[in-house]
Amino acid sequence: MLNALDKQMLEKVADLHEIPQGAFNIRKNGVGVQRNTTANIDIVTKKDKSGIDVIIKPYTKGESVHIPVIVTEENINDVVYNTFEIGEYSDVEIIAGCGIHNCGTHTSQHDGIHTFYVRKGAKVKYVEKHYGQGDGKGQRILNPKTIIEAEEGSYTELELIQIKGIDRTIRDTEIRLMGNAKLVVTERLLTYQDQEAQSTINVELLGVDSSAQIISRSVAQDNSKQDFYFDLIGRNKGRGHIQCDAIIMHNAQVHSTPKISAYHSEAQLVHEAAIGRIESEQLIKLMSMGFSEKEAEDTILDGFLK
C-alpha cells in the first residue's frame, strides 16, 4: 500500500522507518490510507468535514500518536480539520509531519487546521515537521493553523520545524492558557531561493500563574522572505517570554514584530528580537580550529537551527 516514495517521505517527515508503534493515521494525497488505534487512543474520521478526531483517554501515559500527511502528486489542494482531545492527567506525544513531493508544474497544497483541548493536568508534546522535495516547478504550499485550549495545570510543548522544501507557508498559531498552564514553543525555520514564510503566534495568559516561553530561530537565505508576528497577552498574573533570533544572508528579508500587551499588574512579559548576519568572531574561531569558511558557516547554522 505504501510505495518506496511514500516510505521515504514518511521517514523525512516523521522519522518513521516502519509502521509506527501505537496509534497512527497516515494521510496520503487527501485520503486516509492507514490507521491504528489503541485501548487508550481512538481515532475517528469526522463526519461533517475532512479530518479526524483523536481522542486520548484521561491518565494515558507514555503513548504516542503519529499523524503524518504526505502529498506525492501535483495539483492537490487538501484541507483537513483535526481535533485532539487530550484527556486529564495524560502524558503523550503527538507527531504530525507534513511532506510534499512535487515533480510537476502545478501547485500541491495542504492546509491543516488542528484544534487541541489539553485537559486539566495533561502533558502533551506536539512535533510538526514540514518537508518538501521534487524538481518540478509546481509550488509546495503548507498552511497550518493550530488552536490550543490549555486547561489548568497542563503542560504543552510545541516543536515546529521547517527547513527548506516548502515554497510558501502561512502559519497561524493561537493558544489560550488557564491557571498554572505552561507552554513552550520552539520554532525553527530556514528559507532559501524565493521561498516565503509567514508565522503568527498569539498567546493569551488567562489564568493565574500561567506561563509561556516562545523561542523562534530562523535563517533566511538567497531571495527568501520571512515575516514573524508574535502577540503575547497577559490578562492575569503570569509570565511570558518571546525570543526571536534570525540570521539573515544574501538578499533575504526578515520582518519580526514581537508584541506584548499586559492587562494585569502582575503580568510579566518580555520580548527579545534580533536579526543579524553570522558573527564573524564565530567564523574566525571555527576557522582557527581548521574549518574552511563554508564548513564553519554550515556548523554555525546547523547548531543555530538544532
Partner 1 sequence: MLEIQGVTLETEGAKGVEILKNINLKFYDKKIYVITGPNGGGKSSLAKILMGIYNPTSGKILLNEQDITQTSITERARMGIGYAFQSPPRFKGIKVKDLLKMAAAHNPEKLNTCDLLYNVGLCAQDYLERDVDASLSGGEMKRIEIATVLARNLKIAVFDEPEAGIDLWSFQKLAETFKNIHLKYDTTIVIISHQERIMQLADEIILMSNGTISAQSERDVILAGILKNENCLCSTNCEKGVGQNAECVG
For the bound state, the minimum distance from the C-beta of residue 297 to partner 1, rounded and expressed in Å, comes to 12
Q: Which range, of 35-43, 54-62, 229-237, 276-284, touches partner 1 by CB under 8 A?
A: 276-284
Burial class of 241 by CB neighbour count within 10 A (0 to 12, 13 to 18, 19+): middle
* C-alpha torsion 279→280→284→287, nearest 10: 80
CA 25 centroid distance within chain: 18
Answer yes or no: are the C-beta atoms of 108 and 102 closer than 8 Å: yes
* C-alpha torsion 287→288→290→294, nearest 10: 0
Establish if 96 lies at the interface with partner 1 (CB under 8 A). Answer: no
The strand pairing partners of 186, in sequence order, are 159, 215
Q: Which range, of 89-97, 228-236, 250-258, 283-291, touches partner 1 by CB under 8 A?
A: 283-291
21 or 292: CB nearest partner 1: 292
208 or 301: CB nearest partner 1: 301
Grid cell at residue 183: 507552554
For the bound state, the minimum distance from the C-beta of residue 301 to partner 1, rounded and expressed in Å, comes to 9
Establish if 33 lies at the interface with partner 1 (CB under 8 A). Answer: no
**Between 244 and 273, how does the x/- string for binding to partner 1 read (CB under 8 A)?**
-x----------------------------
Establish if 284 lies at the interface with partner 1 (CB under 8 A). Answer: yes
Establish if 1 lies at the interface with partner 1 (CB under 8 A). Answer: no
Give the residue, chosen from 27, 272, 287, 297, that forms a contact with partner 1 under the rule CB under 8 A.
287
Total number of residues binding partner 1 (CB under 8 A)?
Answer: 22
Task: Spell 261-291 as b/e; 16+ CB within 10 A means b.
Answer: ebeeeebebebebebeebeeeebeebeeeeb
Give the residue, chosen from 4, 47, 265, 303, that forms a contact with partner 1 under the rule CB under 8 A.
303
CA 45 centroid distance within chain: 23
For the bound state, the minimum distance from the C-beta of residue 300 to partner 1, rounded and expressed in Å, comes to 7
113 or 242: CB nearest partner 1: 242
The CA distance from 42 to 158, in Å, is 22
Biggest distance spanned by C-alpha atoms of the chain: 62
Contacts (CB under 8 A) with partner 1, residues 198-227: 217
Q: Which residues contact partner 1 (rule: CB under 8 A)? A: 217, 245, 279, 281-282, 284-293, 299-300, 302-306
